[in-house]
Amino acid sequence: MWIVVRATYLIVISFIAWTSMADAYDLLSWLKARLSSEEVPFLESTSDTFRVDVVAEGLESPWAVVPASRDRLFITERPGRLRIVEHGRLLPDPVPGAPRVAYQGQGGLLDIALHPEYGTNRLAYLAYTVETDKGLMTRVTRFEETGEGLMNPLVIFPGVPGSAKAKHFGCRIRFGIDRKLYITLGERGEGWRAQDLMDLNGKTLRLNDDGLIPSDNPFVGRKDVRPEVFSWGHRNSQGMAIHPETGLILQTEHGPSWDDAPGGGDEVNLITAGSNYGWPLVHHREKLEGTAPPLVEYTPALAPAGCTFYLGDAFPAWRGDFFFVNLKGRRLVRLKMDGHRPVGQEHLLTDSFGRLRDVAQGGDGYLYVITSDTDAYGPGRARGDRLLRLRPAKQ
């Protein structure tokens, strides 16, 4: 009886809020996701095993936090600044030489990835949006970090014809254990592009470290598919983590936002070569032959963002777990993994520090999280966004 009442209520609310578009999408999958129980059981809480330090604040719309060494972190700020935290202190001046960016909507200076041999070659890769005569698009450029700042830029991925819409850029960049660079690109708010294999938007790309195309990419040699494509059918993946021991690739992906399908349907996906993740043909818990279902799906939406695998020694109970932060959900989610299969979950920091944008394991074995309250979607914060550190409670 309760399920019937709840379903009726949801249908009424859906049609009131969305009458003009209701018959354009299938509401069944949305209702099924709202009414069914969690597929991944909740774990016993570990919230008493750690404490949270505010390492720094005063950040403006930070996007990525990436460790460079045990005592050094890079943080990107979307207006176009690359910041450094050294020995627990945010340096006052940004790194010189960052590229000019199109800081519009969801765009700006987004991700940073360090070359696998960064310790000796000092090569850093930046992903950012640019404004061109073909619209806003995502570009990736390699720089050499020097004592004078970022030097010797080399465009690794120039971008592809984009859109006037300042949304769904992706963009996470990560090196795999195969030493290839993986890049997530959103479909720019135009869902059909995710299924067009001659359009790189709505895809995961795989490139060599110099921007050339690997000969073993899944679609190399086909005339009907761009050779850069590694996976496709993505809406907007704003998180990607690659397990440094196994090479397992997981991505977090934003589900629909009512303007393109019923809300919710956020995903954690296992990314494999040549796979189609279904958008916009399927969403939420729908299944379609030839498409890969999510490992985990969340309705209502959490708005998942950055993610990482934890392999440190500071929290032995977390070793091997997958962590991802959330914007709307304002929490850090821990997925206990058994190989590539999630077997339990825990929600941490819920509503304690606002919107959360990225998470990374530092060289010291602690987890670092950046907040996202000062961007266009956040409530604002007079003292700016923060860098948080999770460390053992008994230290």
Active site residues: 168
Joined together, the tokens standing for residue 282 give 């399927």
Give the angle subtended at the CA of 332 by the CAs of 326 and 337, to the nearest 5°: 110
Contact 390, 369 (CB under 8 A): yes
- Helix/strand/coil for 188: coil
The structure tokens 């060599």 sit at 208
Q: How many CB atoms lie within 10 A of CB 37?
A: 5
The structure tokens 């008493």 sit at 48
Tell me the torsion sign for CA atoms 376, 378, 381, 383. Answer: negative
The Cα diameter of the chain in Å comes to 68
DSSP state of 129: E
- Helix/strand/coil for 246: coil
- What are the CA-CA distances from residue 245 to residues 178, 248, 311, 346, 358 (Å)? 11, 8, 9, 23, 21
* CA 316 to chain CA mean position, Å: 25
DSSP state of 171: -
Q: How far apart are CA 267 and CA 265, in angstroms?
A: 6
**Which residues are within 8 A (CB) of 149 and not within 5 positions of it... i.e. 6 or more apart?**
95, 96, 97
Q: How far apart are CA 317 and CA 336, in angstroms?
A: 10
Report the phi/psi class of residue 160: left, alpha or beta, with left for phi > 0 and alpha for psi in -120 to 50.
Answer: beta
| Residues facing 348 on adjacent strands | 332
Report the phi/psi class of residue 70: left, alpha or beta, with left for phi > 0 and alpha for psi in -120 to 50.
Answer: alpha
Q: In one letter, which amino acid is 349?
A: L
- What are the CA-CA distances from residue 82 to residues 32, 73, 85, 95, 284 (Å)? 43, 10, 10, 5, 36
